[in-house]
Structure 1
Amino acid sequence: MHAIVIENPGEPDVLRWTEVPGPVAGPGEVLLDVVAAGINRADISQRQGSYPPPPGAPEYPGLEASGRIAALGEGVTGWRVGDEVCALLAGGGYAERVAVPAGQLLPIPKGVSLVEAAGLPEVVCTVWSNVFMLAGLREGESFLVHGGGSGIGTIAIQLAKARGARVLCTAGSEEKLQRCRGLGADIAINYRTEDFVKEAAPVDVILDNIGADYLTRNVETLGTGGRLMIIGFQSGAVAEFNLGKLMRRRASVQSTGLRARPREEKAEIVASVREHVWPLVESGAVRPVIDRTVPMWDAAAGHRILEESTHVGKVLLTVRD
């Protein structure tokens, strides 16, 4: 098969579409013929050499993909060869084939194309596990997501709104702010010209992938009993903040990752997503927002688009129709 190989850490041009040995479905796994894969910020970090795959994961980037089941490993039940699915991965999505633990598969939601579905697993599982399973966002509470125009942001806005929350977001252009409002954001804040602390505080739950630069201001934005969920460190991972402010608010800060979790934990998240989120997707209350598709052999172009941050929603890599 062919896969995107990172020859050496560096700029997007280090991504090469190269012939490599194909995977085999082990016990409890299925072999997936990949149709499309989503690009995530984690893939850029891996390309740059700062986010290596966890032990046992494929070396190729790609944390989510969609396609058709080509083979079943020993002990797999509930799936058949030919089923169209999307999958949460620890890596390997930038390839023609990938082996996936069966517990990390999801059926293609009704009304969503096979290609579009590639943009769902990683972002939906990230948002659901952090905002709802861990932070416990409830109906009537307020929710702030940074980067409302990103793949994470576009899903977080829709999902929080569908669950009855008051939704706020930040974005860096008027075009992105308008798109966020169209997805259900009650308040959209331009982080370049406005102070999100003044515009948003107090809020109950914050989902943040900026990291160090936003930590102090995020804590100031939390209301009493507020929960800050940190899922990325685009501005760095080292910061200081006043614990007294956190204590006075009886608030909490939690940082989580999804990629390196054990299969059993991922399967639990995927099962919860299928139960609680897939009905919202099939009803149209939550939809994948796809900015554009790029041929997988030109993954470098897809990475450049993501790094320019002019996109709204997901950028996908396609292998075949």
Structure 2
Amino acid sequence: FNHHDKGIWSVNSEVRHQVHFHHLNLLSELYPLEEQNLDIIFFRNVSIYFDTPTRRIIQQHLAKLLNSDGYLIIGTAETLANDLGVFSLVEEGGLFYFAKQHPEPAKPRMKMPNPPARGIGMTDRTVSPPVSSSLRAAQPSALTERETPFQQPLPAPMAASADEALRLIREKRYDEAMAVLAMLLKQQPDAGAALLLKAHILLHRKDYAAAEDNAQQALNIEPWSTDAFVLLGLAAKWRNQADDAVKWFKQAVYARNECWPAHYYLGELYRADNKMENARRAYRVVLQLLSAQQAPDDGLSIIPLGLPVSEVRFLCEHQLARLDDGHAMISD
């Protein structure tokens, strides 16, 4: 990398000129010649969009692109769901990848130190309470001989199942998602992501007590889980327990100030309690966060809250206008 002023980095021009971009139809029987004889393919955050039979077809196509001793690297949360028999799953030093050939027995190697504990669903974030947005890119650092670019541990086998449950939840197939989560929690009762997703479904089903119980279990596992704080806040809000809801949403914005849904719910709760200045402040924070980024980060790692940004922005502007008009009338 080349270093510029104010913490800005750019890829070295010598490296950049060796990079080429091509459009590729993953389901095509024939791939361009320039795509052949590859040593390694990175296939991150792609397979989640396909069902299992389609993933197997794609893997068969990718295998044709690789040299006989080539490797396929898939995102950690997707690895186990892609062990479909096309490639050989290889474990090395606690990390997983796929090999085109069956690997030889691994040579003895220095034992790798255990990685630091990570928060629920925060595989790609640096966590320290309160944690900052993952959208801010970290500065690149040089690698020593003993270091490898793959510093992150593979999540437990539950990660792939949690991804499947999340997909089903996004498709509103809640019964199927609950079945996946039940199997997952039977195998790993302390699977925090599964507990959060289950709580999310239970909230939609208005089973608030059960939702709170699962969210609290997740919070016991990860004390700084913004997702758990928001779930508990929503459960309290929908049970008309306003004081508890405010407490939980405050916890959420303390853990992740970028969590604009929590700020929005605080604004609504303050307005309902006639705390107009607090409500005005919360709505303004929401508008500031939503206008600061083209794709605002809601600060949540697991649950698909799915609040429509444009509608929330409109509601905040509308409420602020009403609050400002009311303040002007009182002043007169």
TM-score, normalised relative to structure 2: 0.27
| Larger strand fraction of residues | 1
Higher relative contact order (CA 8 A, sep 6+): 1
| Larger helix fraction of residues | 2
